Structure 1
Amino acid sequence: MKRILVIEDEQHLCKQIATILQAEGFDVIRTTSAAEGIDFARQQSPDLIVCDILMPDLSGYDVLNALQADINTAMIPFVFLSAKANHSDIREGMNLGADDYLTKPFSAQELLEAIAARLKKQEKLVNRVQVLCQQLKNLESLIEAKENLLENLTQELRRPLSNVNMAIMMLEANSPQERRQYYLQILKDEFEREITILNQATELRRLLSPENIKLLHQFNLLNKQW
């Protein structure tokens, strides 16, 4: 059930709006105080706010500014109500970040259509944010996997170096011919091993797509040594 906060200083109109919304299945919080409305928004996390502009304690613009300054309420859709119908007033509300503007008097249908349109737009926005968050997680996993691959590759490439270094030193020491062949064979074997590792790294890099990262994580393969 969607929760809607109504902030309207005219008590009769505030109650009337709440009755219309409740009849449509909305959970409604209502108040005639702008300051109280700000507190309700922060405490109750409504899905949408319907707010009058001209109120005795604070204006609707003040309410909108206060809520947009709070990260927890900044994204709540906001519909202004006002008897002021000139273009500059509407533009001011929109420039501040309001999602819609209803001029008094308005019909129940106009109110419901405005709310339905804002909630639908908000739902699309939330879905888009969720998709972007998942894409970000996939990217982070891909970066982590490539870093693990690079670390493992570095370790594997270091291991043959001690054998290569030892073989070179023994060859430089004028070892007997039979031993020279032995050390040459070591160099050849380690060379082939290095080539194999590099080929494996190239293939793994090609396979490290975002789609494969989830599978690799499931089987805990990313941190395993080759």
Structure 2
Amino acid sequence: MKKILVIEDEPAVRANILELLEAEDFEAVGAENGFMGAMWAQEYLPDLIICDVMMPEVDGYEVLGALRQVPETAAIPFIFLTAMVDKADIRHGMDLGADDYLTKPFTRSELLGAITSRFNKQAVVMQQFQTERERAESLQKKVLELQQSVSSQGEILQQLQQEMRNTVPKITMAIGFLKSIQPGGQRDRCIQILQQSCQSEIALLNQPNLQKFLTPEDLILLRQLNLINPTPHSPTHS
């Protein structure tokens, strides 16, 4: 149920508005002057405020100005009631942040129309806010996924670097020995080390996560040399 605060110093006018609003299933509360209305608004945070302009001590402009300075009440829709039709006065109220004006005397349909219009516009703003919030949450999720992906790629690169540090010295040493060793047991052992190291590198090259870091040209060359498996859609040689 929407809560509406009516700030009006004329008892008869205030009572009529409250009765009309209650008949439309609004939770309506009245305040007899600007000071009490401003205090009530800050304490109970109504969904909409209807406020007379000309009131003693604290007028409607002062009420609106005070409420617009408080974050909790700054966005509450605010409708002025006034017997004045001077454009300068209306402009002044709009500049302070009023959402609408109703000129006394007003009809039931005019009052309800103004209230409905304010709530509809507020619903549009809230929908836009919700959309932007969901968009921001989606963007935040994508940034987090990207950070996780970058972290995962960093781990893969570290793994590759470690594998290369372990394997390359073995291959280099084995090649050096092959140049000076006569055929026989030691030479066969060097060849075995080379084969094992190459198989380890080939297994590493066939990891899908690692292939993401290779260029298309590198992938084509490695497939031509049968060092990596063909893609699922690539034709295989018989």
The aligned counterpart of 1:149 is 149
The aligned counterpart of 2:200 is 186
Question: Following superposition of structure 1 onto structure 2, how do residues 14-29 of structure 1 map, counting pairs within 5 Å?
Answer: 14-29=14-29
- The amino acid of 2:167's aligned partner reads A
Q: Secondary structure at the match of 1:30?
A: strand
Q: Secondary structure at the match of 2:147?
A: helix
Q: Secondary structure at the match of 2:85?
A: coil
Structure 2: runs of 5 or more not aligned: 179-189, 215-238
Q: Which gives a bigger RCO, structure 1 or 2 (Cα 8 Å, sep 6+)?
A: 1
Name whichever of 107-116 and 170-179 sits farther off.
170-179
- The amino acid of 1:191's aligned partner reads L
The aligned counterpart of 1:39 is 39
Equivalent residues of 1:153, 1:201 under 8 A apart? no
Equivalent residues of 1:164, 1:190 under 8 A apart? no
The verdict on how the C-alpha distance between 1:101 and 1:200 changes in structure 2, with shifts beyond 3 A counting, is same
Instruction: Provide the aligned length of Structure 1 versus Structure 2.
Output: 200
Give runs of ≥4 in structure 1 deviating > 4 Å.
198-202
Q: Secondary structure at the match of 2:145?
A: helix
Equivalent residues of 2:83, 2:103 under 8 A apart? yes
The aligned counterpart of 2:116 is 116
The verdict on how the C-alpha distance between 1:141 and 1:201 changes in structure 2, with shifts beyond 3 A counting, is farther
CA distance, structure 2, for counterparts of residue 81 and residue 159 of structure 1: 73
Q: Secondary structure at the match of 2:4?
A: strand
CA distance, structure 2, for counterparts of residue 189 and residue 201 of structure 1: 15
Name whichever of 166-175 and 149-158 sits farther off.
166-175
CA distance, structure 2, for counterparts of residue 48 and residue 134 of structure 1: 26
The aligned counterpart of 1:162 is 162
Equivalent residues of 1:83, 1:103 under 8 A apart? yes
- 1:75 shift after superposition: 1.3
- The amino acid of 1:107's aligned partner reads T
Q: Deviations over 1:114-153 (max 9, x none)?
A: 1111111112221221222122212211111121121112
Larger Rg belongs to:
2
Q: What is the percentage of aligned positions where both structures have the same residue?
A: 34
**Alignment TM-score, normalising by the size of structure 1:** 0.80
- The amino acid of 1:190's aligned partner reads L
**Alignment TM-score, normalising by the size of structure 2:** 0.76
